[in-house]
Chain A
Amino acid sequence: MLILILGTIGGLLLGAAPGLSPTMAVALLIPFTFHMTAEQGLIMLGSVYTATVAGGAISAILLKIPGAPANIATVMDGYPLAQQNRSKEALHYCFISSFIGGVIGIIVLIFFTPLLANFALEFGPSHMFWIAILGVTVIATLDSGSTLKGLFSGCLGLWLATIGYDAVLGVERFVVDPVFSGGINIIAALVGLFAIPQVFSLLEKKTEKSDQFQMEHKSLLSSLKYNFSRIKALSIGSIVGVIVGLIPGAGGQIAGLVSYDQIKKLSNDPTKFGKGEPDGVIAAESANNAMVGPSLVPLLTLSVPGSPTAAVLLGGLLIHGIFPGPDLFTTHAKTAWTFIDSLLIAQFAMLIFGLYISGLARYVMKTPKNYMAGIITVLAIFGTYSVQNSFADVIVMLSLGTFMYFISKFGFTAAPIVLGIILGPIAETNFTQAKIIADTQDGIVNYLVAGGLNVTMIGICILSIAYGTYSEFKTVKQKL
């Protein structure tokens, strides 16, 4: 319980800090969980994930800077509310609707996960290979603005995962320096690819002076009454959040923006939106939290993360020796259910501490960028080192981070690379096993495309690439 409370408070504060996304917060905390038991580590990561998504709304409302991409839609009406000296009211709506959306999302997670897990128990090496490829493809096409750049990044991650010893044949590959002899450590990659580019980005920009608002005295009871009277905004937000969460790779920003768009379209007076309409905050925040639970359904059952943060959580599960997938609820049933239950309890903790902390969060948000960059760097260095007491991991982390910052300037994103590194060994091991089986049959190509399930997964891979290309094409048309 103490870990859950600490995770929630830490997540709220990290989420409130501009630039610290839930993905990065979870990535930074993974090394700390290495010293905990699997249950403790997952409770910590789950509560941080839940709290950072809600905490990001604090800076969105008070500073007009979304703490995370999921809070982009919250800015639209949250900041105008703060300008009208109604910031406390806006924060109340934010945490209450986040709680409602979050609980609905976790209920979906509880009911859907075992159903999908039973189905996934039928999977063999060829299916697991395609599942890994599907995970990389989906994130590559949805997280990046460009399908081709996303696919390139995913392939780069898959290649980086092959550095070191081959798991099946035991051959050492691409060890150009002894630093890489153990392969690329998942945590070093996670922390480096997310945290170091953020340090560079913080330092290259000039801080914008933000207005400081007065916090009004607003009773929690009246906020609660009002919030529960906005059934339409809450329902739209929660339903959109659940649907978007179940689509692998879609993420909180899409949930928030789609629900904001829907509540605006269905409102009696759409002109109020953008000028401080509470329904805008309620719909956006209930949606981005309702997305959290369902985004973990494909992760826990198929190893396909539903969001970039879920991709990072996959790394957290792996370092505790838990491979999410078909047999998660048979081999690690206790750990899996502890994790899911803790997510539900974390929603209550998030509501209580969120309402309390929202008043204090102003101080965290005021942290100057130079200190923030220093803090992230030191945490990244110590966090990475502590996993294996290896300085080589720190070098890998800093090098990968610098390289990521450089290629991010060309429009490449970190999430597909990270997922490639995480799912690479799964894809390669199953590919090699499939090849060994196929050599006694009709050859590898026939084996990999045989059966309805393989064909379905190949179809989904092609569809996700086609959808990514179509969305990109549509964006090109809109911007012309």
Chain B
Amino acid sequence: MLNFGNKSVIFVSLFIAIALFYLSFYSGTPKEVEAYLFPRTITSIMLAVTIFLFYQNLENKFLERERKAPSVFPLNLSKLYPVGISILLFIFFAEDLGFYFSTTILFMFISIFYSEEKLDISNLIKSSCVCSLFMALIYILFTVLLKVQVPGFFLFE
């Protein structure tokens, strides 16, 4: 569990605002100034909002409320990193492995890994059945009815 302090909001917003401010003001050629006027105005406002956020986080009343009813929540990285990695793998390999094959693997992984029931043969069979049925429905909907062409490999090609 990754716990953030209340003041971490300032760092996150400041990081985003400065990164976008830098991109907006240091991109493009001098001839393209007009095209960058709107994003530059927006990022300037973002920086101003971040300064207000900074001052808000210095107020005692606000800090006291944050202690009683926090608006910053811990990030459960230990629970979520497997799904994060599987999404990353999906991004890298889905086009080569085929959409149906890779999404089936992704669905199976999520339903088995995050199952709150005991992992045994009967639950594995149950998960496989649910997954196959749902993917068959997706195939009928997207490929048969909507005629969407997705990257194929060997499953449902």
Question: Shortest beta-carbon distance, A340 to chain B, in Å?
Answer: 27
Q: Residues of A contacting B12 with CB < 8 Å? A: 407, 410
Residues on the A chain within 8 Å of B116, using CB: 206-207, 368-370
Query: Which residues of the other chain, A, contact B53 by a CB distance below 8 angstroms?
Result: 148-149, 152
A148-B53, A162-B39, A370-B115 known; A156-B32 Cβ under 8 A: no
- By a CB distance below 8 angstroms, the chain B residues around A431 are 37-38
How far is the CB of A418 from the nearest CB of chain B, in Å? Answer: 16
- Against A, the Cβ 8 Å flags (1 = close, 0 = not) of B58-77 are 00011011001101111110
Which chain A residues border B79 with CB–CB below 8 Å? 203-204
Quick one: CB contact mask for A428-446 with B, threshold 8 Å, 1 for yes? 1001100100000000000
Across the interface, which residues of A come within 8 angstroms of B35, CB to CB? Answer: 166, 169, 171, 173
Contact with B along A160-177 (1 / 0, CB 8 A): 001000100101011000
How far apart are the CA atoms of A149 and B130 in the complex, in Å? 40
Q: Are B27 and A174 in contact (CB under 8 A)?
A: yes
Partner of B151, one of A166, A374, A391, A480: A391
A371 within 8 A of B: yes
> Which residues of B (88-117) have their CB < 8 Å from a CB of A?
90-91, 94-95, 99, 103, 106-107, 110-117
B144 located at the interface, meaning its Cβ lies under 8 Å from any Cβ of chain A in the complex = no
Residue of B nearest to A427 (CB): B38
Taking a contact as CB atoms under 8 Å apart, the answer to whether B146 and A409 are in contact is: no
On whether the beta carbons of A377 and B84 are closer than 8 Å, the reply is no
Q: Is B124 an interface residue (CB 8 A)?
A: no
Are A389 and B149 touching (Cβ within 8 A)?
yes
Contact B103 A410 (CB under 8 A): no
Distance (Å) between the CB of B156 and the closest chain A CB? 12
Q: Does B42 contact A (CB under 8 A)?
A: yes
**In the complex, per-residue mask of B24-68: 1 if CB is within 8 Å of any chain A CB, else 0:** 100110001011111100110110011011001000011011001
Contacts of B17 in A (CB 8 A): 152
Q: Is B155 an interface residue (CB 8 A)?
A: no
A-B CB contacts (within 8 Å), total count = 170
Residue in B45, B68, B138 whose CB lies within 8 Å of A480: B68
Contact A391 B95 (CB under 8 A): yes
Given contacts A374-B111, A379-B138, 6 further A-B contacts (CB under 8 A): A148-B56, A203-B83, A381-B90, A381-B103, A409-B74, A432-B38
User: Could you tell me the dominant secondary structure of chain B's interface residues?
Assistant: helix
A213 at the interface (CB under 8 A from B): no
CB distance from B132 to the nearest CB of A (A): 12
Q: Is A479 an interface residue (CB 8 A)?
A: yes
- Of the listed residues A159, A203, A476, the one surrounded by the most CB atoms of chain B closer than 10 A to its CB is A159
A-B contact pairs, 23 of them (CB 8 A): A35-B146, A149-B9, A155-B46, A159-B24, A159-B42, A169-B32, A173-B39, A174-B24, A174-B39, A199-B83, A200-B83, A203-B83, A374-B110, A382-B142, A385-B99, A389-B150, A391-B94, A391-B151, A398-B91, A402-B84, A432-B37, A476-B62, A476-B65
In the complex, which residues 6-31 of chain B have their Cβ closer than 8 Å to any Cβ of chain A?
8-9, 12-13, 16-17, 20, 23-24, 27-28
5 nearest A-B residue pairs (beta carbon): A171-B35, A411-B71, A370-B114, A374-B107, A204-B76
A373 in the interface (beta carbon within 8 A): yes
Judging by beta carbons under 8 Å apart, are B42 and A158 in contact? yes
8 A Cβ contacts from A409-424 to B: 409-411
Asked whether any CB of chain B lies closer than 8 Å to the CB of A114, the reply is no
Judge whether B43 and A411 touch: CB under 8 Å.
Answer: no
B95 touches A203 (CB 8 A): no
A107, CB-defined interface residue at 8 Å: no
| Residues of the B chain whose Cβ atoms lie less than 8 Å from the Cβ of A382 | 99, 103, 138, 142, 148, 150
Which residues of chain A come closer than 8 Å to B34, judged between CB atoms?
169, 432, 435
Name the residue on A nearest B56 (C-beta): A148
A274 close to chain B: CB less than 8 A: no
| Docked-complex contact B110 and A370, CB < 8 angstroms | yes
List residues of chain A with CB within 8 A of the CB of B32: 169, 171
B residues near A158, Cβ cutoff 8 Å: 42
A207 → B minimal CB distance (Å): 6
* Nearest CB of chain B from residue A337's CB, rounded to whole Å: 27
For A385, give its contact among B16, B75, B148 (CB under 8 Å).
Answer: B148
Q: B42 contacts which chain A residues (CB < 8 A)?
A: 155, 158-159, 162
Q: Does A476 contact B61, Cβ atoms closer than 8 Å?
A: yes
Q: Which residues of A contact B73 (CB under 8 A)?
A: 409
Nearest chain B CB to A435 CB, angstrom units: 7
Q: Please report the C-alpha to C-alpha distance between residue A370 and residue B112 in the assembled complex, in whole angstroms.
A: 8
- Residue picked from B39, B45, B61, B99, most chain A C-beta under 10 Å: B39
* A312 part of interface (Cβ distance < 8 Å): no
CB distance from A212 to the nearest CB of B (A): 17
Distance A200 CA – B83 CA, assembled complex (angstroms): 8
Q: How far is the CA of A162 from the CA of B28 in the complex (A)?
A: 13
Contact check: which of A148, A206, A479 meets B49 at CB < 8 Å? A148
- Closest residue of chain A to B83, judged by CB? A203
Q: Give Cα A204 to B114, complex, Å.
A: 9
